[in-house]
Amino acid sequence: MSFTSTAAAPRTTTAEGTDPQWWRQAAVYQIYPRSFADADGNGIGDLRGITSRVGYLQDLGVDAVWLSPFYPSALADGGYDVDDYRDVDLKIGTLDDFDVMISGLHSAGIRLIVDIVPNHTSDRHEWFLEALQAPKGSPARDRYIFRDGLGETGEQPPSDWTSIFGGPAWTRITEPDGTPGQWFLHSFAKEQPDLNWRNREVHEDFLRTLRFWSDRGVDGFRVDVAHGLSKDLPANLPSQAELDATPKDGAHPIWDRDEVHEIYREWREVFNEYNPPKIGVAEAWVDSARRPKYASAEGLGQAFNFDLLEASFEAEAFRETVAFNLELAAKSGSSSTWVLSNHDVVRHATRYGLPPKADGEEKAGTNWLLNGGASPELQAETGLRRARAASLFELALPGSAYLYQGEELGLHEVAEIPDADRQDPTFFRSPGSSVGRDGCRVPLPWSSEGASFGFGPEHAHLPQPDWFSGHSVQAQDTAEDSTLNMYRRALQLRRELQGEDTLEWIELPGAEGSSTEVLAFRRPGGWICVTNFGEQAVPLPAGEVLVSSQPLRSEVLPGETTVWLREH
């Protein structure tokens, strides 16, 4: 697919000679900035911390960084509550720091994708503050979704809707004269009022934001809650039960409405003003069959596919997931994306080490967002072993691999966070039922000792467990079989071996009998990836071993192991 610029004179070139298709098979590393590296010692990771670790990212061999929100924020939702879309949070840096960081990344050949959060602002955004001061029916209120309450004095919310983080989706405001007033919609926390995308000003402001960061050199945007922007709320709101029963086929009042793509067509025009065009990747939790639209060349260009993340660690599940998603990618003309971990889910080393849910509805590996991995039944070694096999499988696939900071260290979810230290709004809004996502957001261990394991000169904003020591970059750097070195080798090979974005499934001679547990595919250029999902070893297929997820000490492929082989 080529994104041809329609603008007469494309405005900037971020990296000389950049291939406009660079994203198709990129390995993209997600940085959750507040937990990556802290240069100024305030306990919160920052942009200068990222700049200081560009060498690490280069050695790791990633093609791009996706930076989670770094905008001014009260951190009601880890930065996804944005006060100002065109600035940097003072706690983590300045615009100048941003410029230094991006030029450091670009000089190392690493592109930058920034997170953009268009479904909602924070409740401290100047627009929302203005809406609170303005009267009912005013243009300032029209940028958000305000409604009168039900009941005699409007004391009941406009509907019984619940927010995604738990608790009610409507919050009542106090009018400027001090009386209880209208209610506003927030699909997430109450500090995240939903924007009204029927308002033209909202469109214009985001186009301005896209140009602001594009002009500063960013290479693309990860679009938060991309399927939620367009809403069509009738005068008589349906109940939550009715909403839940409404098919998400393009006409649901809130999610995945067809007209959301009109927004992305406008964004695409902005992307194409640049040479090479900027890229977009949609975070859209939609029915898989509806994903290609987000990923189309007229739209954002790519969309996250979370199917692998949700698949159980089984050959058939992985095969079906990959085959289906490659077909979908072909439909959109985009490349597929692959994700095993991110800042919203329990780390995959932990997911794969947890037993199936008690009700048997979910298989091992799929019970994510479950108690932050606090289960005493966690089999940590099994989880890590499977995670390494799954990661190596993922990195061999055609398409873009989105990696999450710390997975290259084989980190488990941190379960031992005291309640008093928890930050995630899902913990506060669903008391008792979910500990939330803090366990995958604990600051990275860079060294094996020290106040915050090298994260910064002092403390870390979330407590790090003692076992981080053995997982630190320092501990793994020179250990040949470490998870870090497996990722480094695989990422380097991925660049060297990269060809057409296709694969061919193959049956291996000698794997009969165990074939239901062994999955193998060939990539163009004569190399194959073989994963043994079973627990028993199988004969090692012929070929030169390029990288494996476990040490190979004899002519066997151990259980729960992936190997890449060059065919003779």
Could you tell me if 28 and 402 are in contact, meaning their C-beta atoms sit under 8 angstroms apart? yes
* Separation of alpha carbons 87 and 96, rounded Å: 10
C-beta of 165 vs 453, nearer to ligand BGC: 165
**If binding is defined by CB under 6 A, does position 440 make contact with ligand BGC?**
no
> Considering beta carbons, is residue 219 or 283 the nearer one to ligand BGC?
283
Interface positions, 339-368, toward ligand BGC (CB under 6 A): 343-344
Nearest-approach distance from CB 452 to ligand BGC, in angstroms? 23
Supply φ then ψ for residue 518, to 5 degrees: -115, 130
Provide the minimum distance between the beta carbon of 133 and ligand BGC in the complex, in angstroms, as a whole number. Answer: 25
For the segment 40-79, give every residue that binds ligand BGC (CB under 6 A). 77
Q: How far is the CB of 434 from ligand BGC (least distance, A)?
A: 13
**Gap between the Cα atoms of 144 and 417, Å rounded:** 36
Binding-residue pattern over the window 516 to 555 for ligand BGC, x denoting contact by CB under 6 A:
----------------------------------------
Interface characters, 173-192, with ligand BGC (x: CB under 6 A): ---------------x----
Q: How is the beta sheet containing 518-523 ordered, strand by strand? A: 504-505, 518-523, 527-532, 561-566, 544-548
Structure tokens at 265: 């067509």
- Identify whether the C-beta of residue 38 lies closer than 8 Å to the C-beta of residue 455: yes
Residue 231 vs 343, nearer CB to ligand BGC? 343
Active site residue 224: yes
Other CB atoms within 10 A of residue 543 CB: 16
| Minimal distance, residue 225 CB to ligand BGC, in Å | 5
Cβ-proximal residue to ligand BGC, closest one = 80
Binding to ligand BGC, residues 483-512 (CB under 6 A) = none
Within 232-251, the residues that bind ligand BGC by CB under 6 A are none
Task: Give the helix/strand (H/E) hosting 202.
Answer: helix 200-215
Q: What is the token pair recorded at 73?
A: 């924020």
Burial annotation 168-183 (CB, 10 A radius, 16+ → b, else e): bbbbbbeeeeeeebbb
Q: Which two tokens stand for residue 512?
A: 């009969």
| Min dist. Cβ of residue 75 to ligand BGC (A) | 11
Catalytic residue among 89, 115, 273, 413: 273
**Minimum distance from residue 84 beta carbon to ligand BGC (Å):** 16
Element (H, E) at 215: helix 200-215
**Which lies closer to ligand BGC via its Cβ, residue 305 or residue 483?**
305
Give 548's Cβ-side CA count (13 Å radius).
23
Least gap, CB of 228 to ligand BGC (angstroms): 9
The DSSP code for 33 is G
- Is residue 229 within 8 A of residue 262, CB to CB? The reply is no
Element (DSSP H or E) covering residue 527 = strand 527-532
Compute φ and ψ for 23, nearest 5 degrees: -75, -20
> Is the CB of residue 349 less than 8 Å from the CB of residue 412?
yes
Structure tokens at 281: 């990747």
Smaller CB distance to ligand BGC: residue 80 or 318? 80
Instruction: Please select the residue that binds ligand BGC; options are 46, 205, 283, 307, rule is CB under 6 A.
Output: 283
- Quickly count: other Cβ atoms within 10 Å of residue 548's Cβ: 23
Catalytic residue among 40, 46, 89, 224: 224
CB 119 → ligand BGC: shortest distance, Å? 7
Selected binder of ligand BGC within 117, 286, 339, 557 (CB under 6 A): 117
Burial environment of residue 392 by CB neighbours within 10 A (0 to 12, 13 to 18, 19 or more): buried
H/E element, 323: helix 315-332
Q: Are 402 and 344 in contact (CB under 8 A)?
A: no
- The residue among 117 and 547 lying less far from ligand BGC, judged by its C-beta, is 117
Whether omega for the bond prior to residue 457 falls within 30 degrees of 0, making it cis, is no
* Count of positions on this chain that bind ligand BGC (CB under 6 A): 9
Residues 211-230 that bind ligand BGC (CB under 6 A): 224-225
Comparing CB distances to ligand BGC, the nearer of 260 and 392 is 260
Nearer to ligand BGC, 439 or 454 (CB): 439
Q: Amino acid identity of 175?
A: E
| Residue 543 near residue 566, CB atoms below 8 Å | yes
Of 146 and 165, the one with the shorter C-beta distance to ligand BGC is: 165
- Supply the minimum distance, in Å, between the C-beta of residue 553 and ligand BGC: 41
Q: Measured from the CB of residue 517, what is the shortest distance to ligand BGC in angstroms?
A: 33
Q: Is residue 277 reached through a cis peptide bond, with omega within 30 degrees of 0 on the bond before it? A: no
Nearer to ligand BGC, 188 or 521 (CB): 188
Choose, by CB under 6 A, the member of 32, 80, 352, 453 that binds ligand BGC: 80
Q: How far apart are the first and last CA of the chain?
A: 33
Any idea which residues carry the catalytic annotation?
224, 273
Residues that bind ligand BGC (CB under 6 A): 77, 80, 117, 188, 224-225, 283, 343-344
